[in-house]
Amino acid sequence: MKSRWIIGSSDYLDLAFHGWKQARQDEAVIKIDVPQDEKHEFDFRILDGLNPSDGAMFVAFDERLGNFKRTELMQAALQRGFKLEPFIHASAAIGSDTVIGLNAFVGANAVVGHGCRIDYNTVIHAGAHLGPACRVKSSCWIENGVQIGAGVEIGGNSILRTGAIVREGVKVGRSCELGWPRAYCEDVPAKTYFNARYDSPIHTYGT
């Protein structure tokens, strides 16, 4: 029997593990919590003890540190030769001509319209709705019930919190956080943070 290792940390690791376990009953689905030190550096020795020819891998780490830790863990898996596939829940609705990248996650009852492109390592949680012809770039985090209109573009490493509604044709720059439960009707510049703790959006500049 082939193995499927679900690696990472956080509640998202548990969610992904149970999803894969239900979907792939013909495989040995194994959850692996990858430890981190006090500086949030991963201990990759646990991966070095696995043989890529014995199965496939899925990386599940939440949006902390701007999704970059999930990206780091995914890169470590690829460098070691592990095969990565997207997870699409059986109850999700995926339109025709839609492309979903490596290690992406589409949760229960999510809807992704036709002609969308979901880049690698992006997480779309349960009940989110993406209209047709959307582009979601790599390593984004889209929470439960988020609504995204047709033709929207979401920049890489962005976070869309529950309650966010992105209107048709809006472009959201990279590394943004749409954390206010409201409609976003205009383009959002890169590195703009609508954080629920603050009354005004925060803009950061530079690389």
pTM for the model stands at 0.95
Residue in the structure block whose two tokens are 């290792």: 5
Long-range contacts of 174-177 (CB under 8 A, 24+ apart): 174/137, 175/66
| C-beta separation of 150 from 168 below 8 A | yes
Segments making up each domain of the chain, as ranges: 3-84, 86-191
Please give the pLDDT value at position 66: 87
**Pure H helices in 61-125:** 68-79
- For residue range 94-128, list pLDDT tens digits in order: 999 999 999 999 999 999 999 999 999 999 999 99
User: 86-191 — its CATH code?
Assistant: 2.160.10.10
What fold is seen in the domain 3-84?
Answer: Rossmann fold (3.40.50)
Please give the pLDDT value at position 195: 92
Q: Residue 191 and residue 148: Cα distance in Å, rounded? A: 19
Q: Residue 160 and residue 140: Cα distance in Å, rounded? A: 8
Please give the pLDDT value at position 65: 86
